[in-house]
Copies of this chain bind each other. A is one copy, B any other.
C-alpha cells in the first residue's frame, strides 16, 4: 500500500506580521519531515507574516489596487457585484484574491507580494532547518469557469515541479501522450485542502509520496501555470466581449456610411 499520505500540522499559532514561518513550521513538524515531502502552505499565513493587512473599509480600494484588468463582472438582482479580475500576479480570481475570512476583525488580507519567492524562501529555509529535501507550495482557494464551488490551487511553488510533463511519453499502447500535462502543483494543493479544513487553524499540510516531483529551488514557479491572456480563449467574460464587439460593429457601420 504505497501511495500518498496527506496530513495537516498541528501547533501552528495565529500568524502575525513579521512571524518567522520557517521556524514555526519546522517546530510544528518536529522531526517528522523526510526527503521528498511537500509542504502545502495556505497563502493566508504567508500574507499575514508579510503584514499584508488592509483596513476593511478600504476593501474595494484594495481590490482595485490589486487589479490589473477586469475580466468579467456581474451585478446580481440583490445589487451585489461580483468582479472577476486578473491581479498583478496574473491570477484570475474573484475580488483579486483579497480575503476577508479568518483575518482580524476590521481587516482584510491581500495576497503575498510574490508567492513564488515566498515558496522558494520557505523551501530553502525548511531544507536548512530540518535537513529534509522538501518542496513548498503556497495555495489559495480559487473559483473557476464552468464549474461551481472552489478548489485549492497553487499560486506559489518552490523546489517542486508544477507540471508532470508527459508530453514526451507514451501511453500503454505506445502512442505519444501529446497534450497531457497534469498540473500536479494544483493537484497537491487540492489534496492538502482535504485535510486542512477551512474553519480550523491548520494552514499547513504535508504530502508524502511524490518525492519525484521535488527538485531544485530554481525550478519554474506557479507563475508558469498562469496562461497568458493572449493564449487564453476565455481571457474576457462573454458579456464584456460581446459589448466590445457590439461597439466595434456599430462604429464600423457608422464609418462606412
Query: Do B233 and A151 touch across chains, with their CB atoms under 8 A apart?
Result: no
Q: A156-179 toward B: CB 8 Å interface, digit per residue (1/0)? A: 000000110010011111010101
- Please name all residues of chain B whose beta carbon is closer than 8 Å to the beta carbon of A94 when the two chains form the complex: 179
> With the chains together, A161 CA to B163 CA distance in Å?
29
- Please name all residues of chain B whose beta carbon is closer than 8 Å to the beta carbon of A32 when the two chains form the complex: 1
Query: Do B226 and A146 touch across chains, with their CB atoms under 8 A apart?
Result: yes
Stretch in A60-68, A111-119, A124-132, A239-247 with 4+ CB within 8 Å of B: A239-247
> Which of chain B's residues has its CB closest to A188's CB?
B194
| A–B complex contacts, Cβ < 8 Å, 26 sampled | A3-B205, A6-B6, A74-B233, A144-B145, A144-B146, A147-B186, A149-B181, A149-B182, A149-B225, A150-B182, A151-B187, A177-B198, A182-B193, A190-B191, A233-B238, A233-B239, A235-B238, A240-B241, A242-B245, A243-B245, A245-B245, A245-B247, A245-B248, A246-B248, A249-B253, A257-B257
List residues of chain A with CB under 8 Å of any chain B CB.
1-8, 32, 72, 74, 84, 91-92, 94, 100-105, 141, 144-153, 162-163, 166, 169-173, 175, 177, 179-184, 186-188, 190-191, 193-195, 198-201, 205, 207, 209-210, 224-227, 232-254, 257
